[in-house]
Amino acid sequence: MPVPDNVEATVRALVDAAGLPVSDEEFQSLVDGYPTLRELADRLYIEEVRYEEPALIFTPLPPAKGE
Amino acid sequence: MTTPRTIESAAAALRSGEASSVELTEEALERIAALDERLGAFIAVNEAGALQQAEQADADLAAGVDRGPLQGIPFGLKDILATKDQPTTANSLILDPAWGEGYDSVVSERVREAGAVIMGKLVLSEFALGTPDEEKPFPIPRNPWRLDRSPGGSSSGTGIAVATGMVLGGLGTDTGGSVRFPAAYCGHSGLKVTYGRVPKWGCVPLGYTLDSIGPMARSAYDCGAILNVIAGHDPCDPTASAEPTEDYLAGVEGGVAGLRMGVPREYFFDHEELDEEVRSATEAVIDTLAGLGAEVVEVKLPHSDIAKEANTLTMVCEAFAYHRMDMGSDRWTEYGKGARNMIGRAALYSAADYIQAQRFRSWYAKQAARVMADVDALVVPMTHEPAPAHKPPDMNRRLTMPSYAGPFNLLGYPALALPSGFSSELGLPLSAQIVGAPFAEALLVRMGRAWQQVTDWHLQAPPDDAPGGEEA
């Protein structure tokens, strides 16, 4: 997922969708960091991982005591 | 300067009659009275309760009731662990005061039953991820070696309290390094346990698939003594492992002769931001253990830089799920600035990113398993630099800093942080890390013991009048 041309609009949409009432200063910090954040997240999509199953655990068995 | 007490030496003193638990507890209370206002280790001290527990520990020992090496030992709990006799805050205005009220977490109960004297609740980074915030009503933790340096997080208070003798041992939690960073920056040992080794029920979550509760103490031996008490399955925690526990001190004097010690150079030793003194101190650990009979094996653990990112992404996304209802409300500014930024940032990731991090995790786990099939342990630096400036780094800068802790949270492997020297310029502690295969904690304690029998970095204590206060 390439970094979008309009970072500010993208970050605004994501922050609003999450309902975060960020200040102007906080918003600007997120905008400033977004290209790096996106670049780092995109590095997860490497060829070696193409056929991996996610390391998530789910069991259909009933919950243990205490849950 | 006298050698500071360890749990090992204090437990021996209690049994020889050289000291009583009440005396140890009064010593610890004196240290707290003298230092805590400046260093910010405790959120709440339970003086009356501690003295009462100490009297009970002495009475039990006198009656021949010996509950093991934690009995009568001044001990601290990160304030993210529920305690029936003190409130739990997670260092935040957000946590419902009713959470944790009137009951113990599994680990709180276990250390209490082992006779530990619980001195109080220790400072942490907000919800184990934020940064110290002077606008909030919680103590600002400071590095006991230099007040203008960070003590590390998130188990900052436990790190400070152990380093200064306010407690002889304590518990922290580790999701991306939070036991090991404060141990490293404050100059003592800290054991991140295998995921699932220690039950988490009664602990405020950060990253559900990463969190672990681990021992922090001066020595590797002491960490093993604590782990003996807190390890083992509990049905209340669905992620707690049923893998049998063992006596983590049984083979502690076994040495390292014949062990194969893997050294992954890529990323862990060749990163451009790795401090030269940290690197050379870690090399000294490797050389010393090799001199004691361990075999050095060069290994490759590819894409460990991406593993750091996968750990961070997993941690903040899982944390955001827990916090979103509060963050997306008028309670946003009740969080500190650091927590808002670190956790709220997760809104910028996609659901696919989270799943991809878990797919990477599967792949990375296979690479690590291949490496561990050929060696007994890995030795790497714990941090890439000594304790940084106290002022929290720019949040965007944190995205790109290397982490030698996070990859092992992603894997769920145990890792032991050990003091490895001091920086030449400011005299700050340096730290190396021994990493094992799942449930190899006993081996790590044994290797740490071997290192600490030929060095005394872990027995160095900071001065009571640490410099740097004028700039802090």
**Mean pLDDT within B36-60:** 98
Q: Is B461's pLDDT higher than 60?
A: yes
Is A41 in contact with B349 (Cβ distance < 8 A)? yes
Closest residue by Cα to residue B332 from B87, B125, B93: B93
Contact B309 A40 (CB under 8 A): yes
Q: Which of A5-9, B254-258, B291-295 has the lowest mean pLDDT?
A: A5-9
Residues from chain B that touch A53, judged by Cβ atoms under 8 A, are 359, 362
Mean pLDDT, chain B, rounded, equals 96
- Least CB–CB distance from A54: residue in B313, B355, B400: B355
Q: Which of B154, B156, B212, B304 is catalytic?
A: B154
pLDDT tens track for B127-153: 999 899 999 999 999 999 999 999 999
Confirm if B189 and B458 have CB atoms less than 8 A apart: yes
User: Closest approach of chain A CAs to the CA of B111, in angstroms?
Assistant: 21
State whether residue B208 sits within 8 Å of chain A by CB.
no
Contact B309 A30 (CB under 8 A): no
- The CATH fold assigned to B7-459 is Amidase signature (AS) enzymes (3.90.1300)
Locate the chain A residue with the closest alpha carbon to B410: A55
> Using one digit for the tens of pLDDT, what is the confidence trace for B363-378?
999 999 999 999 999 9
Q: How far is A56 from chain B (nearest CA, A)?
A: 7
To the nearest whole Å, the CA of A62 is away from the closest chain B CA by 11
B298 strand-pairing partners: B263
Beta-bridged to residue B262, according to DSSP, are: B297, B378
Report yes or no: B217 and B223 within 8 Å, Cβ to Cβ: yes
Question: Is B337 in contact with B391 (CB distance < 8 Å)?
Answer: no
User: A64: buried, middle or exposed (CB in 10 Å: 19+, 13-18, 0-12)?
Assistant: middle
Distance CA B46, CA B99 (A): 19
Q: Taking 90 as the threshold, does the pLDDT of residue B361 lie above it?
A: yes
Strands B117-122 and B74-78: parallel
The full set of domain ranges for chain A reads: 7-45
Residue B32 scores a pLDDT above 70: yes
Nearest by Cα to B359 from A24, A27, A56:
A56
Nearest chain B residue to A45 by CA: give it. B356
The phi and psi torsions of B230 (rounded to 5 degrees) equal: -95, -15
Give the mutation candidate from B356, B398, B413 for the A interface (greatest A CB count, under 10 A). Answer: B356
Which residues on A lie below 8 Å from B305 (Cβ)? 43
Find the mean pLDDT for residues B453-460.
98
Give contacts of A19 with chain B, Cβ < 8 Å: 324, 327-329
In this prediction, residues B231-243 reach a mean pLDDT of 95
Contact B238 A67 (CB under 8 A): yes
Q: Are B143 and B471 in contact (CB under 8 A)?
A: no
Q: Return d(Cα B21, Cα B11) in angstroms, integer.
A: 9
Give the three-class secondary structure for B269: coil
What number of C-beta contacts closer than 8 Å exist between A and B? Answer: 116
Confidence of residue B179 (pLDDT cuts 50, 70, 90): very high
Banded pLDDT at B157 (limits 50, 70, 90): very high
Q: State yes or no: pLDDT of B35 exceeds 90.
A: yes
Residue B154 annotated among the catalytic residues of the structure: yes
From chain A, the residues in CB contact with B241 under 8 A are none
A49 with B356: Cβ contact below 8 A: yes
Percent of chain B with pLDDT over 70: 99
Overall average pLDDT of the B412-417 stretch: 98
Q: What is the ipTM of this complex?
A: 0.92
Q: Average pLDDT, stretch B43-56?
A: 98
Per-residue pLDDT band for B73 (boundaries 50, 70, 90) equals very high
Whether B1 has a pLDDT exceeding 70, the answer reads: no
Residue A65 reports pLDDT greater than 80: no
CA distance B313 to B319: 10
In this prediction, residues B10-17 reach a mean pLDDT of: 98
The answer to whether B204 touches B88, Cβ cutoff 8 Å, is: yes
Count other Cβ atoms within 10 Å, centred on residue B305: 16
When pLDDT is cut at 50, 70 and 90, the band that residue B263 belongs to is: very high
- The nearest CA of chain B is from the CA of A11 a distance in Å of 7
A56 and B324 within 8 Å at the Cβ level: the answer is: no
Structure token digits, residue B24 = 């140890």
